[in-house]
Amino acid sequence: MTDLFTRARGVIPGGVSSPVRAFGSVGGTPVFVAEARGAHVVDVEGRDYVDLVASWGPALLGHAHPEVVAAVQEAAARGLSFGAPTAAEVELAETIRTRVPLAEQVRFVSTGTEATMTAVRLARGATSRDVIVKFAGCYHGHSDALLAAAGSGVATQGLPGSAGVTRAATADTVVVEYNDVAALERVFAESGDRIAAVITEGAPANMGVVPPAAGFNAAIRDLTARHGALMILDEVLTGFRVSPSGWLGLEPGLVPDLVTFGKVVGGGMPLAAIAGRADLMQLLAPVGPVYQAGTLSGNPLATAAGLATLRLADTAVYRTVDTRSAELQSAVADALSRASVPHVVQRAGSLFSVFFRDAPVANYEDAKAQDTAAFGRFFHTMLDHGVALPPSAFEAWFLTAAHDDAAMNRIADALPAAARSAAGA
Ligand code: PMP
């Protein structure tokens, strides 16, 4: 694998198509995957790992579910891309609306980044306002306006979150500390009439898992409604994963204006969506003035994978994922406690992550105050024992419905040694 990584770095920046895959924060050589089935991935040298990455979320059913693969194969035989509307898009949009009633209309795109970028443009178009409020530590893809970093202080004008992002691109992005209602109230008191939307993850899972404090999402809803701003709920990661209707299924009564989907909705193929109230969605081209388009949008292989996945993702699937997640959370906490490793396991539905620190994490500042070196040692010992965790301390761990007893036992067997490594022993 080291040879392949050397070759990869010669022709691909960092050897990877997306940065976190490079093992930058944990060190070592990334696993080059040859194939994946159920709860397992197999590397190019034939080594099998129990997978807790699940393609960063999409593989709710496990990898390469035979019925999903068959649906994609059948679709492929009928043509790879048409650039024309299809019946499968209509069916998928109707399926989404059945699960998430506020998704009255749906526009398909290929990535979560496009979905949130479009939601922001739509919110600005709908309100004729400029400012977008986002929370530090929430990730909404890599469009310029959302790639904004917080300055010091709880609510700051966004600073470019990357080289190549201009100050102008983030000048209308305000970054607020997560779970801080008072800071959000202050921002609305100061510039409520300039705010087009607040965008937030259903439950943040991109700084590790940081569930919204009781009433936090409701406070966002209340403030946006009172000030004529929109609430965009980014369910790219939580959508169709934490319940049949995503985070909204776990927080009934929360009614955002727009919602974005990705990952599970495409069943492992490049597909994402923006959805919401019909009057807002009707502002999108070709009906309305907000432009948005895509050559590969609503791709027939992707819609086939999404439809097959949602058809198979019944309540039994969610129950299994919930159960496996709870089992793993307690097994990890137990192993780390036995090895006296400071830790806190945080969950939001079936999503969870482990922070290597001894106090609860309410926001990004707290998340950054963890022992990432301990996580790195833990990660590598798990990997040596055939368990592939997300290669960063700031990511959720993903279960699938295919994690059977054998897979769970392999994880359980690996945990004591990994916990001792984390302890530095
Ligand atoms: N929003 C959230 C909440 C995400 O977790 C992600 C990806 N991890 C994105 C948006 C961006 O999606 P994509 O990587 O498909 O562009």
Q: What is the pLDDT of residues 306-339, one digit of tens each?
A: 999 999 999 999 999 999 999 999 999 999 999 9
Q: Which residues of 37-58 are buried (b: 16+ CB within 10 A; e: fewer)?
A: bbbbbbbeeeeebbbbbbbbbb
The rounded mean pLDDT for the chain is 97
Give residue 57 CA to ligand 1 midpoint distance, Å: 10
Domain ranges of the chain: 2-61+315-423, 66-312
**How far apart, in whole angstroms, are the C-alpha atoms of residue 18 and residue 46?**
23
Give residue 421 CA to ligand 1 midpoint distance, Å: 31
Please tell me the predicted confidence (pLDDT) of residue 151: 76
So which residues are the catalytic ones? 139, 234, 263
Match domain 66-312 to its CATH number in 3.30.300.20, 3.40.640.10, 3.40.50.300, 1.10.490.10: 3.40.640.10
Using alpha carbons, list the distances in angstroms from residue 131 to 101, 169, 378, 397: 28, 11, 41, 33
* pLDDT of 383 strictly over 80: yes
* Tokens representing residue 95 in the block: 């399926």
Give residue 6 CA to ligand 1 midpoint distance, Å: 28
Please tell me the predicted confidence (pLDDT) of residue 114: 98
Please tell me the predicted confidence (pLDDT) of residue 69: 98
* pLDDT of 126 strictly over 90: yes
Kindly give the number of the ligand 1 atom that is closest to the alpha carbon of 262.
15
Give residue 300 CA to ligand 1 midpoint distance, Å: 21
Dihedral of the CA atoms 247, 287, 108, 201 (nearest 10)?
-30
Nearest Cα to Cα of residue 114 among 266, 289, 288, 247: 266
Strand partners, 48: 42
The mean pLDDT of 17-44, rounded to a whole number, is: 97
pLDDT tens digits for 170-228?
Answer: 999 999 999 999 999 999 999 999 999 999 999 999 999 999 999 999 999 999 999 99
> Helices 405-423 and 315-338: crossing angle, nearest 10°?
30
Nearest Cα to Cα of residue 122 among 278, 297, 311: 278
Residues near 404 by beta carbon (within 8 Å), at least 6 away in sequence: 38, 39
Kindly give the number of the ligand 1 atom that is closest to the alpha carbon of 201.
3
φ/ψ of residue 10, rounded to 5? -70, -30
Chain center to CA of 373? 24
Please tell me the predicted confidence (pLDDT) of residue 154: 66
User: DSSP class of residue 16?
Assistant: S
Please tell me the predicted confidence (pLDDT) of residue 109: 98
Strands 230-235 and 195-201: parallel
Evaluate whether 330 touches 413 at the Cβ level (below 8 Å).
no
Give residue 224 CA to ligand 1 midpoint distance, Å: 23
Pocket test for ligand 1, best of 146, 236, 269 (most atoms within 8 A of CB): 236
Task: Identify the residue whose C-alpha is closest to ligand 1 atom 12.
Answer: 112
Angle, alpha carbons 110-349-411 (nearest 5°): 90
* pLDDT of 159 strictly over 70: yes
What does 176-233 look like in DSSP terms, one character per residue? Answer: E-TT-HHHHHHHHHHHGGGEEEEEEESS--SSS--PPPTTHHHHHHHHHHHTT-EEEE
Q: 66: cis peptide before it, omega within 30°?
A: no
Kindly give the number of the ligand 1 atom that is closest to the alpha carbon of 260.
1
Please tell me the predicted confidence (pLDDT) of residue 28: 96
Chain center to CA of 393? 15
Chain center to CA of 186? 28
Dihedral of the CA atoms 245, 248, 249, 255 (nearest 10)?
-110
The mean pLDDT of 29-41, rounded to a whole number, is: 98
Task: Identify the residue whose C-alpha is closest to ligand 1 atom 10.
Answer: 140
% of the chain with per-residue pLDDT over 90: 96
The mean pLDDT of 382-397, rounded to a whole number, is: 97
| Residue matched to tokens 């040859």 | 34
Please tell me the predicted confidence (pLDDT) of residue 158: 85
* Tokens representing residue 200 in the block: 């937030």
Pocket test for ligand 1, best of 109, 120, 139, 265 (most atoms within 8 A of CB): 139
Report yes or no for ipTM above 0.90.
Answer: yes
φ/ψ of residue 378, rounded to 5? -60, -50
Span of 158-172, 227-241, 243-257 with lowest mean pLDDT: 158-172
* Tokens representing residue 28 in the block: 């070592």
User: What number of other Cβ atoms are within 10 A of residue 12's Cβ?
Assistant: 11
Please tell me the predicted confidence (pLDDT) of residue 150: 79
**How far apart, in whole angstroms, are the C-alpha atoms of residue 343 and residue 333?**
8
Residue 156 — pLDDT band, cuts 50, 70, 90?
confident
Please state which architecture CATH assigns to domain 2-61+315-423: Alpha-Beta Complex (3.90)
φ/ψ of residue 11, rounded to 5? -120, -10
**How far apart, in whole angstroms, are the C-alpha atoms of residue 109 and residue 326?**
33
Kindly give the number of the ligand 1 atom that is closest to the alpha carbon of 138.
3
What does 92-127 look like in DSSP terms, one character per residue? Answer: HHHHHHHHSTT--EEEEESSHHHHHHHHHHHHHHHH
Kindly give the number of the ligand 1 atom that is closest to the alpha carbon of 114.
16
* pLDDT of 83 strictly over 90: yes
In total, the chain counts a number of residues equal to 425
Q: What is the pTM of this model?
A: 0.98
Give residue 189 CA to ligand 1 midpoint distance, Å: 30
The mean pLDDT of 355-370, rounded to a whole number, is: 96
Residues contacting ligand 1 via CB (< 6 Å):
56, 111-113, 116, 139-141, 201, 206, 234, 236-237, 262, 272
Using alpha carbons, list the distances in angstroms from residue 206 to 10, 192, 257, 321: 29, 27, 22, 20
